[in-house]
Structure formats: C-alpha cells, structure tokens
Amino acid sequence: MTTSESSAMLPSERRAKVVELLRRRGTVRVHDLADELDVSAITVRRDISLLAEQGLVRRVRGGATVTAAAPVGVRPAAYPAEPNSSALLITERRQPAPQPRDRPAQLTLGMVVPSLDYYYPDVIKGAREAAAEADVRIVLRGATYEAADERRQLAALVETVGVDGLLVVPTTTGDEGEALVRWLRSVDVPVVLIERTPADSYHDAVESVVSDHARGAAMAVRHLAERGHRRIGLSTTLASPTAPHIRQGWRDACERFGLPLDGTPDVRTVDRWDTAWPADLDALLDSCLASGTTALLVHSDPEAISLVERCQERGIRVPQDLALVTYDDEWAELSDPPLTAVRPPKAAVGRAAVTLLAARLHDPDPHRPAHRIVIEPQLIVRSSS
C-alpha cells in the first residue's frame, strides 16, 4: 500500500485494514501498523481499543491479535461504511446499531514517582491540575529510587492497566538505569520523563520536563556573592540524582563571579539518617572554618536544617558567621532562622509534563519532533543569608 493510498483512507477503512492485517499475520505490533498505514502510533492504539471493545481484536503487549469474533468480511460495528465510499469490507451479518459518541474516550496516563512524601507531592499536584484541564485520568504509583522497582511499576501500568502514556521519574544511572531507559524507548506508548534526562545515547528519543537545577544553583551563588561572600562552598548528598546539576551550576557561577574553587568545600555527604551523618556534618563545618568559607549552598532541606542545629551547638552564628542557602524549599521556612532557599518549579513541572504528553497523544503527526522543556527555579530570600 502506498502512502497516498493509506493517507486517503476513511477511518472505517483503516480499521477494517487493521483487522485484515491481523487476520493474515496473527499478531502485529502497534509501530509496524503505524508505519504500514502511515499514521501515528496513537491513532493505531485508538483503533485497536475501539476494535477490542467490539470483541474483534485482543490487545497484547505492544500490539494486538485477532479474535474468533472477527470473521472474514465483517466491518467493525461502530464504523459503518460512509456514504458513497468504496469500502474494503462488506458487512455479512446483522450488527447492533452503533451508539453515538459525544466525545473521544478519556485518555489514561500512568505516573511513577520515586517518593510520595518529599519533593514530588507538588509535582503530582501540578499534574493533577493539568489532567483535570485536559480531561485525562492519571493512575499514580510510588517507587523507591530503584530501577527494578520502577520497571515493575511501569510494566504493570502498560500491560495490566493499559495506559495511553507514561509520566515517569526514572533511575537513569548505572547498568539497571540504562536498561530501564532502553525499555522506556521500546514501549508502545509515549513517555515523558520528569526531572530526569537520559544519557546522550538515548536523549534524542525521549521527551522530558525538568527544572533548571544548574540555573538554580547559580542564582544562589549570585545572591551570596552580591552580599560580599568571596568563598562559597557546596554540600550535597552522595545519592542525590539532582546533585550533579547543582554542582555544575555552582562551579560555573563561582568561575563567572571570580570566586575561588581551590580549597573551597565541595562536600558529598551521606544522607541525614545515615549513622555517619554527624561525623560528615562536623567535617563540613571544620572545612568551612579552616578555609575561611563564609557561605554554603546545601542540598537539601533536611540536611540544611540539621546543619543549622549543629552550628548552634558549636556556637557558629547563622548568618553572621556562616550564611546558608538550601535547595528544594520543602521545609526551609520552618527552620530557625528561616532559610533562604532555591525553589524548583515542582507544580509547573507536573503541569507541563501532562500538557506535553497530552499534546503528543492528540497530535496526528507520527513524525512530531521530540520536545524537552526546561523550567527555571525561584530564589526565596529569608533570614539565613
């Protein structure tokens, strides 16, 4: 079939062709059908969903297979031949009258985040707001920052729930993370990454919405430099996937403002609940005192609040002796003193991710280019700086 022939098909003819191809081949992948019919994958998925509702085909992972309820020569019931059309298939048995459709079936999006109680609640809130505006449904799952767990959750959403698209904050590093990104590229539903970008070898095929964390770190450095601080340190946790972006922004900004990096603390600590945290905390403060560092950017809020407490115990005044800016702004305002914070645009990221995925699902162009959205954080100035 030529491109011109397939693009000229009426919807009923296209769905009839889907049934015909399935009858000939048994099982066909969505992407293969889309290529052969020269339509988008989402168009094929909708055709399969409607045919499955009629019992003519059965959905399987990545495609569909024909059922015994699809005899040769039967046009899908809900799509009778249009007037004056040369239909490919002629109805050979009486079918029930089609039910009117006032609007398309509601899309369902699967969403997997690594935490339901820190950082991501605001992302989820933004996603829910955008979903309500776009009239789409979200099925939410919480994972554990483990690629294997994330893949299990995502596979269930695709294979069991049958979602139309995926919103996911995946692990992208290490062998398991790279394997997860490859799997995400292979699924037959559109995917939008949230607060993650994959390695360059996969970057061209996956859409994403992220906070500009490097820009946020640079905002913090500029704020502190404008207040006269000439040595500004950095503290991040070892396991944080956000830390590399913050570190890059911090280094770039220090160089831009002529601030020294040699001898300035650039500390990677354990998480606050680790038994080694108190020792790491004292080592960080000792390094600040020894190097003459007068300001710190700390990721994230729990570590920054714990640092303030330790400063008070050691007689280090905040901000007089050591100014602090925290990154995340989850609980920064509750500290004593309230902490100046970089606030990532969490709700805006969630809204943009749903809007981007909905746009992908509704776009009939199978060659729509990949979109990647970067949103700028805010600096919230409080007493600690």
pLDDT at site 80: 40
Q: Are residues 283 and 253 in the same domain?
A: yes
pLDDT > 90: what percent of the chain? 64
Greater confidence (239 vs 10) lies with 239
- 301 falls within a domain: yes
Report d(CA 217, CA 101) in Å as an integer: 51
CB neighbour list of residue 171: distance below 8 Å, 6 or more residues apart: 114, 145, 146, 147, 150, 177, 180, 241
User: What is the average pLDDT value for the chain, to the nearest integer?
Assistant: 86
Contact 31, 41 (CB under 8 A): yes
pLDDT at site 292: 98
Contact 194, 169 (CB under 8 A): yes
What's the rounded mean pLDDT across residues 6-14? 72
Question: Ramachandran region of residue 104, left (φ > 0), alpha (ψ -120 to 50) or beta?
Answer: beta
Q: What CATH number is given to the structural domain containing 13? A: 1.10.10.10
Residue 7 has pLDDT above 70, yes or no: no
**N residues, the chain:** 385
Q: Are residues 221 and 330 in the same domain?
A: yes
- 78 falls within a domain: no
Q: Are residues 226 and 202 in the same domain?
A: no
pLDDT at site 203: 52
- 74 falls within a domain: no
Q: What domain range includes position 53? A: 3-66
Residue 369 has pLDDT above 50, yes or no: yes
Tens-place pLDDT, residues 346-364: 999 999 999 999 999 988 7
- 155 falls within a domain: yes
Residue 59 has pLDDT above 80, yes or no: no
- 239 falls within a domain: yes
- 170 falls within a domain: yes
Report d(CA 16, CA 74) in Å as an integer: 8
Tens-place pLDDT, residues 143-180: 999 999 999 999 999 999 999 999 999 999 889 999 99
Q: Are residues 311 and 360 in the same domain?
A: no
Q: Are residues 282 and 302 in the same domain?
A: yes
Q: Are residues 141 and 261 in the same domain?
A: no
pLDDT at site 69: 53
Q: Are residues 204 and 260 in the same domain?
A: no
Q: Are residues 226 and 305 in the same domain?
A: yes
pLDDT at site 199: 65
pLDDT at site 8: 61
Amino acid at 30: V
Q: Are residues 113 and 142 in the same domain?
A: yes
Number of domain units in the chain: 3
Greater confidence (80 vs 365) lies with 365
Name the band, by pLDDT with cuts 50, 70 and 90, for residue 61. Answer: low
- 100 falls within a domain: no
pLDDT at site 94: 36
Tens-place pLDDT, residues 100-137: 444 456 899 999 999 999 999 999 999 999 999 999 99
Amino acid at 158: V
Greater confidence (334 vs 35) lies with 334
Name the band, by pLDDT with cuts 50, 70 and 90, for residue 68. Answer: low
Q: Are residues 50 and 112 in the same domain?
A: no
pLDDT at site 96: 44
Q: 75: exposed, middle or buried (C-beta count within 10 Å: 0-12, 13-18, 19+)?
A: buried
pLDDT at site 165: 95
Nearest to 334 by CA among 308, 363, 297: 308
pLDDT at site 280: 97
Tens-place pLDDT, residues 175-208: 999 999 999 988 989 999 999 987 654 455 689 9
What's the rounded mean pLDDT across residues 12-19? 86
Q: Are residues 239 and 311 in the same domain?
A: yes
Q: What CATH number is given to the structural domain containing 130? A: 3.40.50.2300
Tens-place pLDDT, residues 74-107: 445 444 433 333 332 322 333 444 444 444 568 9
- 332 falls within a domain: yes
Q: Are residues 274 and 324 in the same domain?
A: yes
What's the rounded mean pLDDT across residues 222-248? 97
